[in-house]
Amino acid sequence: MATTKTGGLAGVTAGQTELCTVGKEGAGLTYRGYDIYDLADNASFEEVAYLLLYGRLPNQAELDAYIAKLISLRGLPKSLRTVLELIPGDAHPMDVLRTGVSFLGNVAPERDFDAQNDVADKLVACLPSMLLYWYRFHTDGDRIDTKTEDDSVAGHFLSMLHDETPGELQRKCLDTTLILYAEHEFNASTFTGRVITATLSDMHSAIAGAIGALRGPLHGGANEAAMELIERFDSAEAATKGIHEMLEKKELIMGFGHRVYTTSDPRNSVNKRMSKQLADLVGDTVLYPVSEAIEKVMWDEKKLFANADFYAATVYHFLGIPTKLFTPIFVCSRVTGWAAHVMEQRAHNKLIRPAADYTGPGLQDWLPIDQR
Ligand code: COA
């Protein structure tokens, strides 16, 4: 039975949104009224990005124009490429993106909120470029051309990473995870972005702040932590034993549980199906069975379910994506939801400034420094 959570603003309504419902009865997750399963099965990430950022699904001409616009915005200013080369190769790529977005705010600042859609589109188009330019430079010494002609963000990402056009299944799987990650109501990173926006700050500050919030393992960082957990075990039996031991020691199992969902995360079944498809494709006989074993123990022992991050981990792994790029992929997707929230906050703005219950000492007498 679901328990009532307290603390951490659990259950507190902190504003209104037209963008998304999370865990409402009969509609596990919807973006602007569209069920996530319809979007995952039928839409492309670009259609979902347009839906979130422009308020409705595009027709064919609008979608074609939007894709062409995103392709045209994939390039990085030379000074940003220099910054990416100066960031150490062993930096965490989430820090790279945080810095990259912040730097872009210096060389291409948002001067006018009327141009907010262009700022958002630039970020959607060039976040994968930033990430892969930095990654390839420091991994292979290559200064890659980020202006690929691939007509999807997913294909753009994979072709910059692997230097070849991805297979259709691989492109589709990455595209689907981008759809699933795009928006999620007042989660920690989105709320961070809205708090920053509410001061009438700029889009780059809001997105850089949101990236900082997403980085932590209790939020977006969970997909990397889940992969590290899954890779610890060489068989389903070892995973079953290992997770029991971890639970006995009251350790947190990454990729399980959720603040809002109580019995399942609707995104999980889609990720799990893709993970199985890709496991079969690459001939995996360990990681998928290990994942299923972990999922079973967590449900049997704790009634905790896999969240979106758990099977996303093996989806990315089977796509040949290094683990440290997992959470940055989340950024490349969620930037659409964040930017849509920035615009929504601006449209009905009120400074966000809650109150706190004071728990410190009562009024104290001032003591000169030699009497303390
Ligand atoms: N592994 C083990 N126990 C877990 C757990 C997990 N992944 N998630 C929750 N629990 C336990 C908590 O320890 C707590 O037990 P207690 O009541 O005995 O103290 C209980 O379940 C309730 O969890 P709580 O931490 O109060 O829930 P929350 O809403 O504050 O936290 C998360 C939600 C997502 C932060 C939490 O489930 C978590 O840390 N999960 C792992 C990280 C993760 O996957 N994050 C991505 C979220 S999409």
**The CATH number of the domain where 155 resides is what?**
1.10.580.10
Q: Please report the pLDDT score of residue 249 as a whole number.
A: 98
- Give the alpha-carbon dihedral of 128, 80, 144, 322, to 10 degrees: -40
- Tokens 């422009």 locate to 54
Nearest CA to ligand 1 atom 28: 259
Total structural domains within the chain:
2
Q: From residue 224, give the alpha-carbon distance in Å to each of 214, 273, 344.
A: 12, 19, 30
pLDDT, average across residues 87-113: 97
Q: What is the pLDDT of residues 278-303, one digit of tens each?
A: 999 999 999 999 999 999 999 999 99
Asked if the model's pLDDT at residue 1 lies above 80, the reply is: no
Q: Are residues 256 and 183 in the same domain?
A: no
Q: Is position 11 within any domain? A: no
Q: Are residues 174 and 131 in the same domain?
A: yes
Measured in angstroms, how far is the CA atom of residue 113 from the centroid of ligand 1?
A: 38
Asked if the model's pLDDT at residue 159 lies above 70, the reply is: yes
pLDDT, average across residues 187-201: 98
Asked if the model's pLDDT at residue 134 lies above 50, the reply is: yes
Residue 253: CB within 6 Å of ligand 1? yes
Residue 5: CB within 6 Å of ligand 1? yes
Q: Which of 7-11, 179-183, 267-271 has the lowest mean pLDDT?
A: 7-11
Q: Compute the mean pLDDT over every residue in the chain, rounded to the nearest whole number.
A: 96
60 burial type by CB count under 10 A (0-12 exposed, 13-18 middle, 19+ buried)? exposed
Asked if the model's pLDDT at residue 157 lies above 60, the reply is: yes
Q: From residue 136, give the alpha-carbon distance in Å to each of 27, 42, 144, 318.
A: 41, 32, 7, 19
Beta partners for residue 22, in sequence order? 29
Active-site residues, by number, are 219, 258, 309
Q: What is the pLDDT of residues 258-272, one digit of tens each?
A: 999 988 999 999 999
Measured in angstroms, how far is the CA atom of residue 258 from the centroid of ligand 1?
A: 6
Asked if the model's pLDDT at residue 248 lies above 70, the reply is: yes
Domain that holds residue 270: 222-318
Q: Please report the pLDDT score of residue 26 as a whole number.
A: 65
pLDDT, average across residues 89-101: 97
Q: Are residues 211 and 226 in the same domain?
A: no
For the chain, what percent of residues have pLDDT higher than 90? 93
Q: Are residues 158 and 38 in the same domain?
A: yes
Q: Which two tokens stand for residue 164?
A: 């070849």
Q: How far apart are the first and last CA of the chain?
A: 53
